[in-house]
Amino acid sequence: MMFQSRNARSALFLFAAVCVAGVTAFGATPAASNEGIKSNHGWAIAIHGGAGENEWEHMDSATESAYHESLAKALAAGSAVLKRHGKALDAVEAAVKVLEDDPLFNAGRGSAFAADGKNEMDAAIMDGGTLAAGSIADVQFTRHPVSLARAVMEHTPYVMMVGPGADEFSRAQGLEQQPPSFFFTELRWQEFTSIMRASGRPVPPRPVGVAPAPTASSAPHLFVHRFGTVGAVARDSEGHLAAATSTGGMQGKLPGRVGDSPLIGAGTYASDRSCAVSGTGVGEYFIRLTLARQVCTLVEQGQTSQQAADHMIHDELPALKGGEGGVIVVAPVGDPIWSSNTLGMFRAKEVEGSGPDIHVK
């Protein structure tokens, strides 16, 4: 157990002291830089469950309705917060937690595997009202990585923590921990092993504690959902914006690889002055373009969020050969929008006064 020895307790005390000092010195919760920008445009939320190509060509109706149901559940969790005049930050966390628990998506339970057969999960959350942000990368045991990102934002002077240090912080925060077998799904493993074989790399042993490999006849029908990252953006009834993104990253990635999702400004960004953005796609391109921040910059310069997102997704992203993906965006005014240059993107939205709008295809 952590923090049980005297040295460890002293370390915890030191850490707490540094955090307290840090909160004061660095302002872990920055002053409300965007205060005064209030919206009378009602609450709004959008979520995504990743983008992709081939899977949209071959999606059968059972898969389609399973994704529809999952999106509806996650959207409802986020909308419920906003309906009772909760904060955008709480709404995006609530929606993403539901998606992280859902094995259909590549985040939390159902995450992709690194080349060594382990899950390395990344997540970020950002408060558009204060520009406070938290993110984590390469964590292996936290049931809800988005909540760990929020804990980094709220309980440390930092923005980002990674690897074993982030896992240890998660335990110290009392966040729910789970063994690798919890995050494992047969479907994602089959997808992983086929990618490893296709690229001529060795397939690592199945994680400890998971059921033996199914026989060919009982193997799950392989629905390869290439990206599968999840995210949410929201505007609350006070007009504040927030964004969150969570992912298992790319299947077969080298251990230690980090994508765009947890990088503030790349896959996740929120500012009440412009918009809140969550992305999905090949992270390396989103990082090079600081895509999420760039969408917000274009909005600040006068473009609508649709124009800004379309420019980044349909012009800038494909201009870098291999740049594929999509974003969801919400601004201080108007309905949430989305844009993707892939065949499909699982997405859904709801705005105050109207019902859920869910798109699987």
β pairing state of 160-162 and 133-139:
parallel
Query: Can you tell me which residue has the tokens 């505007």?
Result: 235
Residue 203 CB burial class (10 angstroms; 0-12, 13-18, ≥19): middle
Give the nearest distance from C-beta 229 to ligand ASP in angstroms.
3
As measured in angstroms, the least distance from the Cβ of 227 to ligand ASP is 3
User: How many residues line the site for ligand ASP (CB under 6 A)?
Assistant: 16
By rule CB under 6 A, what string of x and - marks binding of each residue 245-264 to ligand ASP? --x-xx--------xxx---
For 183, phi then psi, to 5°, come to -80, -20
304 is a catalytic site residue: no
- Bridging pattern class, strands 241-247 and 121-127: antiparallel
Please say whether the beta carbons of 267 and 290 come within 8 A.
no
Which residue among 108, 134, 283, 336 contacts ligand ASP (CB under 6 A)?
Answer: 283
Taking CB under 6 A as the criterion, which residues in 298-357 touch ligand ASP?
A: none
Strand pairing of 268-270 and 121-127?
A: unpaired
String marking each residue 90-119 x if it binds ligand ASP according to CB under 6 A = ----------------x-------------
Distance from C-alpha of 348 to C-alpha of 241, rounded to nearest angstrom:
17
Tokens of 282: 């090949």
| 50 in contact with ligand ASP (CB under 6 A) | yes
Between 100 and 272, CB nearer to ligand ASP: 100
Nearer to ligand ASP, 145 or 228 (CB): 228
Catalytic residue among 193, 229, 245, 268: 229
Provide DSSP, 181-199: HHH--HHHHHHHHHHHHHT
| Binder among 39, 229, 237, 340 for ligand ASP (CB under 6 A) | 229
**Shortest distance, CB of residue 121 to ligand ASP, whole angstroms?**
10
* Extended strands (E) in the chain: 44-52, 121-127, 133-139, 160-162, 230-235, 241-247, 268-270, 276-281, 325-330, 337-340, 344-351, 357-359
Q: Which is nearer to ligand ASP, 180 or 267 (CB)?
A: 267
Of 273 and 288, the one with the shorter C-beta distance to ligand ASP is: 288
Q: Which stretch binds ligand ASP (CB under 6 A): 55-63, 276-284, 306-314, 346-354?
A: 276-284
Of the candidate residues 67, 189, 227, 269, the single one contacting ligand ASP (CB under 6 A): 227
**Residue 235 backbone phi and psi in degrees, to 5:** -125, 130
Shortest CB 267 distance to ligand ASP, Å: 6
On whether the CB atoms of residues 50 and 227 are closer than 8 A, the answer is yes
DSSP secondary-structure letter at 34? T
Compute the least distance from the CB of residue 268 to ligand ASP, in Å. Answer: 10
Stretch that binds ligand ASP, among 13-21, 81-89, 165-173, 275-283 (CB under 6 A): 275-283
The binding site for ligand ASP (CB under 6 A) comprises: 50, 106, 227-229, 247, 249-250, 259-261, 267, 280-283
**What residues act catalytically?**
229
